[in-house]
Amino acid sequence: DMALSSILTEAEIAAGLQSCQAADSFDYKTFFVKVGLNSKSKDQVAKVFGILDQDRSGFIEEEELKLFLKNFSASARALTDAETKAFLAAGDSDGDGKIGVDGKTAFIKM
């Protein structure tokens, strides 16, 4: 079982979670920068995507996005509906209501 901690440092994860503690303060761009994901290799980004895709469907669905922060820390909060929808809209390039594997690198680099 791959863990995000094998790709990101504890300090990076803490910085990311710190940036969005309050409800509706989550901004995926800020978060990706804080956890250092925007500077990782394509391969590492693919691994992160695999961890987030909990049901291994090849897509990250709304329910998985809602619990996005919990992948980084079990004590993290769930995203609000507004945050989840904004996050989904940003990564859902073809409007099918989920984020596909093709969109994943663009998604993290955006």
Residue 55 is labelled as binding a ligand: yes
Residue 72 is labelled as binding a ligand: no
Residue 64 is labelled as binding a ligand: yes
List the domains of the chain with CATH numbers.
4-109 (1.10.238.10)
Summarize pLDDT for 53-71 with one digit per residue, the tens.
889 898 899 999 999 999 9
Residue 109 is labelled as binding a ligand: no
Predicted pLDDT of residue 15:
97
Residue 61 is labelled as binding a ligand: no
- pLDDT, the chain, mean: 88
Residue 43 is labelled as binding a ligand: no
Residue 109 banded pLDDT, cuts 50, 70, 90: low
The model's pTM is 0.86
The DSSP symbol for 56 reads -
